[in-house]
Amino acid sequence: MLKVGVAWRKISANGIIYSTLALLALLAFNIFASPGFFNLEMKEGHLYGSLIDILRNGAPLMVLAVGMTLVIATGGIDLSVGPVIAISAAVATSMIGKNMGASNLPLPLVILGALAVASLCGFWNGILVSRIGIAPIVATLILYVAGRGIAQMITDGQIVRVFYDPYYFIGGGYLLIPFSLFVVAGVYLAAWLFTRRTAFGMFLESVGVNPNAARFSGISEKNIKLVAYTISGLCAGVAGILISSNLKSADGNNAGLWYELDAILSVALGGTPLTGGRFSLPGSFLGALIIQTLTTTIYSVGVPPQVVMLVKAIVVILVSLLQSNNFRQSIAARFPSRKGAAR
């Protein structure tokens, strides 16, 4: 009984509960707005349906949200993940080359290469922030500005198309469910193990909550930040592979465009404070899911494209307000009778 109480307080304090409610509300809306939304079909041993689509299309964002969560937990921010996606995509596709049905280099090497370059980008951000002391928003803005240029340099300014089935499989293949979901699961499992089964998570939160006290406790703030930004780069690399393999091409200008903003939003919706400290990976996953569900819902309902962004913004405002203690209290204060009933 006591444990339930503690768990409940943890959940509601996280704000996860309100994100969950928002997601459920979105799904409930779809029951009425778009019939067939919940239909799942088996075709050739694959599951198809709007729900599967949401998960599949949301995969890159979900992966990205992991790295962003860790960076935000340090009290920082990583604006460069969109361009790093483009760089990772460019590296991977260039290593595969334009051969029909074959790759220049073995696939594991391709993946490793793209991830290594992306991690290097994150490491660069980490160096700028932790060793040189540049404010995170400025430090990562550097790669944000330069990143797409680097991606185009790698591909000689071309949109690289690849024709290699094993690569398609990563972002577009199915093992009953989309293969990209296994990638997502793998990333989350690894992140969970790294943050909650080593001391990294505790150190990360310590640095985010009170860097001074962390220093007095013998925690190296610099190394923690360096690792967080590197992981964020790595996650952007994974997202870049997912996106380029799904599109079978790498476009330096458009791959991962605006993803950094959606990733930040996912983390915020997931209840991790942007000032740093306590973080929640499940929360960020939920945040990414909300954003993707929202996007899919808007399109399937047939909202005119020119107002899509507006609708998205309104929903985001509503969810953010729901998460705010102050807002909930002031609403509750306006309806004293209801408050009593709710108790």
Partner 1 sequence: MSESRSILETRAISKTFPGVNALSGVNFTLNAGEIHAVMGENGAGKSTLIKVLTGAEQPDSGEMLLAGKRIQPKSPHHAQELGISTVYQEVNLCPNLSVAENMFIGRETIKFGFINAKASVIRAREILQRMNISIDVTRQLDSYSVSIQQMVAIARAISVSQAQVLILDEPTSSLDRIEVQKLFEVMRQLKAHGQGIIFITHFIDQVYEISDRITVLHHGELVGTYTTADLSRISLVTKMIGKELTDLENLSKAKEAIQRDPAEQPFMQVEQLGRKGSIQPFNLDIYKGEVLGFAGLLGSGRSEAASLLFGIDSPDSGSIRIDQKEVKHLSPLKAILHGISLCPENRKTDGIFQELTVRENIIVGLQSSLGWFKFIPLKQQYEIAEKYIKLLRISTPSPDQLIRNLSGGNQQKVILARWLATDPRLLILDEPTRGIDIGTKTEIQKMLLDLVEEDKAVVFISSELEEVVRCSSRVMVLRDQQKVGELAGKHVNEAEIMQTIAGGAEYA
Token pair belonging to 155: 């591909």
Q: 213 vs 309, which CB is nearer to partner 1?
A: 213
Instruction: Give yes or no for residue 212 binding partner 1 (CB under 8 A).
Output: yes
Query: Which residues from 160-199 bind partner 1, rule CB under 8 A?
Result: 197-199
> Residue 203 or 285: which CB sits closer to partner 1?
203
Q: Which is nearer to partner 1, 199 or 307 (CB)?
A: 199
> Which regions of 116-272 does DSSP assign to beta strands (E)?
160-161, 174-175, 177-178, 249-250
Residue 158 near partner 1 by CB under 8 A: no
State which residue, 45 or 218, has the beta carbon closest to partner 1.
218
| Cβ proximity to partner 1, 119 vs 293, nearer residue | 119
Do 176 and 116 meet the contact criterion of CB atoms below 8 Å apart? no
Q: Which of 14, 206, 230, 284 binds partner 1 (CB under 8 A)?
A: 206
Give the C-alpha separation, 155 to 168, whole Å.
Answer: 19
CB of 8 to partner 1, least distance (A): 13
Q: How far is the CB of 35 from partner 1 (least distance, A)?
A: 45
Write down the least CB distance from residue 275 to partner 1, Å. 10
Sole binder of partner 1 in the list 18, 144, 203, 259 (CB under 8 A): 203
Ramachandran category for residue 97: left, alpha or beta (phi over 0 → left; psi -120 to 50 → alpha): left
Residues 6+ apart with CB under 8 A from 200: 194, 224, 227
Question: Nearer Cβ to partner 1, position 10 or 161?
Answer: 10
The interface mask with partner 1, positions 213-252, x = CB under 8 A, is: xxxxxxxx--------------------------------
DSSP three-state, residue 229? helix
Contact partners, residue 106, CB within 8 Å, separation at least 6 = none
- Pairing mode of beta strands 160-161, 41-43: unpaired
Instruction: For the CB of residue 209, give the shortest distance to partner 1 in the complex, in Å.
Output: 4
Regarding 279 and contact with partner 1 (CB under 8 A), the answer is no
Stretch that binds partner 1, among 158-166, 200-208, 299-307, 319-327 (CB under 8 A): 200-208
Q: Give me the least distance between CB of 215 and partner 1, in Å please.
A: 6
Binding mask 259-278 for partner 1 (x = CB under 8 A): ------------------xx
Round to whole Å and give the CA distance between 128 and 132.
Answer: 5
Residue 290: CB minimum distance to partner 1, A? 24
CA separation (Å) from 118 to 60, 68, 112, 125, 301?
14, 14, 10, 11, 37
- Cα dihedral 140, 323, 238, 88 sign: negative
Q: Supply the minimum distance, in Å, between the C-beta of residue 198 and partner 1.
A: 5
Per residue in 302-316, is it b (16+ CB within 10 Å) or e — as a string? eeeeeeeeebbeebb
Site for partner 1 in 6-35 (CB under 8 A): 6
CA angle 322, 82, 306 (to 5 degrees): 60
**Residue 41 half-sphere exposure toward CB, CA atoms < 13 A:** 8
Could you tell me the smallest distance in angstroms from the CB atom of residue 212 to partner 1?
A: 5
In angstroms, how far is the first alpha carbon of the chain from the final one? 18
Instruction: Name the minimum Å distance from CB 254 to partner 1.
Output: 38
User: Of 60-119, which residues contact partner 1 (CB under 8 A)?
Assistant: none
**In the set 200, 229, 259, 285, which binds partner 1 (CB under 8 A)?**
200
Q: List interacting residues with partner 1 (CB under 8 A).
A: 6, 197-200, 202-203, 205-206, 209-210, 212-220, 277-278
